[in-house]
Amino acid sequence: MNIYNKYPIFKEVNFIILEELVKEIKTGNKGLSEQLIIELKPLILYTIKKYGYYDTFEENYQSAMVVLFESIKEFDPLKGVTFAAYYKSQLFYYFMNIVKKEKDHIDFTQETSSLDQIPEEEYKTIDSHVEDIIWREERTKLYAAIKKLRPRQKWLIESHYFQGKKLIELSKEYNLNYQGLVKLKARSLITLKEYLQKPHNM
């Protein structure tokens, strides 16, 4: 089972972190670039290993950095796409375009044999594979952060994300204001994000 489907909280908390980092960098806070790279490292390494065109890791990594900073410049959150998804697609197509440009100068069939061997189904499920890698390492940190939440926040996170109860269900079951639960959820996710961004949150 995809970890996003089983634990959607991973997706929400980490996407909040990425979106805020990109927002700050776009407004001139370049000092956060290193933190963004750390957050995206699993995705970058996975993509290089799977689709990196160049012979050396260094060349592929430098290309990934170029694409990253271009993606930051071009990213528009109003289009409804998360930065992680946007950067992932930009990096993937960057390497694929290199292969296409080189097809007139090399034996295309020989040089891309490894790509040809990838089943079509694997391309279709690339999102789930990348997501698993990105968030698998975050589980322990997330559980530790949840333990630090206030009792009410912890209750909501556990009920909503781990027991699968919708906010409207919790509202009716406990006679609570629905909008109040929406705000509590938002505050809880932000608090989790802050814990996860601390160097030592364990």
Looking at the predicted structure, is the pLDDT value of residue 30 above 60? yes
Domain extent for 44: 1-137
- 88 and 61, same structural domain? yes
Rounded CA separation 52/45 (Å): 9
Instruction: Label residue 70 by pLDDT band (50, 70, 90).
Output: very high
- 17 and 89, same structural domain? yes
Contact 193, 11 (CB under 8 A): no
Contact 153, 184 (CB under 8 A): yes
> What's the total number of domains in the chain?
2
Instruction: Label residue 66 by pLDDT band (50, 70, 90).
Output: very high
More reliable by pLDDT, 192 or 3: 192
- 119 and 39, same structural domain? yes
Contacts of 23 (CB under 8 A, 6+ apart): 77
- 172 and 77, same structural domain? no
- 128 and 61, same structural domain? yes
- 112 and 164, same structural domain? no
More reliable by pLDDT, 57 or 120: 57
Instruction: Label residue 74 by pLDDT band (50, 70, 90).
Output: very high
For the chain, give the mean pLDDT.
Answer: 75
Contacts of 153 (CB under 8 A, 6+ apart): 184, 187, 188, 191
- 198 and 149, same structural domain? yes
Q: Which of 117, 137, 157 is the last residue of a domain?
A: 137
- 147 and 116, same structural domain? no
Instruction: Label residue 125 by pLDDT band (50, 70, 90).
Output: very low
- 127 and 160, same structural domain? no
Q: Which of 83, 109, 137 is the last residue of a domain?
A: 137
pLDDT in tens, 156-167: 988 888 888 888
- 92 and 6, same structural domain? yes
Q: Which of 112, 137, 162 is the last residue of a domain?
A: 137
- 110 and 18, same structural domain? yes
Q: Is the pTM of this model over 0.85?
A: no
pLDDT in tens, 75-101: 988 888 888 888 988 998 888 887 676
pLDDT in tens, 147-202: 888 999 999 988 888 888 888 999 999 999 988 898 888 888 888 878 877 755 54
Please give the biggest Cα pair distance in the chain.
Answer: 69
- 155 and 132, same structural domain? no
Render the burial of 45-84: b for 16+ CB within 10 Å, e for the rest: bbbbebbbbeeeeeebeebbeebbeebbeebeeeeeebbb
User: At which residue do the structure tokens 């090399």 appear?
Assistant: 106
